[in-house]
Amino acid sequence: MNQILAYPICRLCLVATLAFAVRGETINAEKAQQESARMFAAVLLIRGTAVGGNIGAYGVYVRNTGDSNWTKITRSNVISFGLGLFKQGTTRRHYLAAGNGLHRSTDAGQTWRVLTCWTTEEILCVVPDPVDSAMIYVATPFGVFKTTDDGITWDRKMTGFKKWFIQRIIMDKRDRHTLYAASEDDIYMTTNGGAQWSPMRVGAAEPLALLQHPTKPNRLLAGFEENGLRYSPDHGTTWIAAKGLSGSTIYTISASADGTDLYAAGWKTGLWRSEDGGLVWNHVWSNPAFDAIYSIFVDPTDGQHVFVGSVGGGVYESHDRGKTWRSAGLVGGQIKQIELYP
């Protein structure tokens, strides 16, 4: 199939993703207030030099709300696959899942420390524990790994899996010891911090995107390679093929803070929205300038304010739930992730 590979193994990449950090480990209230209006983008360059963002190399880009000018804030180029944030009080730790290991910054991204030193160093996704700063989970092409001592040692947590390649991990909103992992053959769940995993028997292979509903946590959604989107209303006991996205490749699923609107997108799908919690989906918008959408971000303070990160078209922004759109910079970049960090 002529499409972008869903599995981002860095040895096959000709270019690399951007990743970002905000401030240092401890910030004061004044700086925290200043940061509240800043957008961050993780971008993979796919052609030449991007415009609207002054991109000359891969790294991390930031902009103020309402501004289309992005500024690179990283000093070095690191092949980057994902990001994570530990936030507790005024403490911030920023994690970067990269092609050469897991990086952590405690000084606003000015310096990074690599927390892994494995023979295979590709980290595809990072999930910091929200309570214990020393506990971190990562997804890799060779399984799930966990540290409980701030990266000094790592344990491989694969009991119950049939396949090794783990694309993504998310943590349950109600219980930090319950996690979901997207493996090659199924979605797996653990309720004991990774000690034992069980297949959820979704009925489709190669999951790429996972979402837990923000206000109804028993609802789970998963996007697949050429298998559309599936929806579970009962915490994974049953799975239903969503209506409207059959046969599509779904890279990303996102939701408004109140759960009223769910969004999904992928390879040649355009942007789709569900207003019933994930069962029925309707097409919202497409742009012939690019083939794929890799990231969606909904402003948590304004559900009308939606961002999409495309492949080659940069960032697009809507203030009316997708009725109208404007280019928001970073044209030429593959936008892997968009966030608003406090």
Confidence band of 57 (pLDDT split at 50, 70, 90): low
Is the dihedral angle over the CA atoms 120, 121, 123, 128 positive or is it negative? positive
Q: How far is Cα 257 from Cα 335, in angstroms, rounded to an integer?
A: 22
Token digits for 107?
A: 């000084």
**Which distant-in-sequence residues (6+ apart) come within 8 Å of 25 by Cβ?**
91, 92, 93, 106, 107
Counting residues of the chain whose pLDDT is more than 90, the rounded percentage is 57
Confidence band of 35 (pLDDT split at 50, 70, 90): very low
Q: Is the pLDDT confidence value at 42 over 80?
A: no
| Beta-bridge mates of residue 147 | 136
Could you tell me the residue ranges of all domains in the chain?
157-286
Mean pLDDT within 197-225: 96
Question: Which pLDDT value is given to residue 13?
Answer: 28
Torsion of CA 44, 45, 47, 49, to 10 degrees: 160
Question: Which pLDDT value is given to residue 304?
Answer: 96
**Which distant-in-sequence residues (6+ apart) come within 8 Å of 66 by Cβ?**
none
Question: Which pLDDT value is given to residue 76?
Answer: 64
Q: Containing H/E element for 32?
A: helix 29-35
Q: Which residue has the higher pLDDT, 50 or 161?
A: 161
Q: How far is Cα 23 from Cα 110, in angstroms, rounded to an integer?
A: 9
Token digits for 332?
A: 């030429």
SS3 126: strand
33: DSSP letter: H
**Which distant-in-sequence residues (6+ apart) come within 8 Å of 280 by Cβ?**
242, 243, 244, 274
- Pick from 23-27, 44-48, 103-107, 284-288 the range whose average pLDDT is largest: 284-288
Confidence band of 119 (pLDDT split at 50, 70, 90): low
Question: Which pLDDT value is given to residue 10?
Answer: 32
Question: Which pLDDT value is given to residue 120?
Answer: 54
Supply the CATH classification number for the domain 157-286. Answer: 2.130.10.10
Q: Is the pLDDT confidence value at 154 over 60?
A: yes
Q: Is the pLDDT confidence value at 318 over 90?
A: yes
Confidence band of 5 (pLDDT split at 50, 70, 90): very low
Report the mean per-residue pLDDT for the chain: 82
Question: Which pLDDT value is given to residue 88?
Answer: 86
Q: Is the pLDDT confidence value at 14 over 90?
A: no
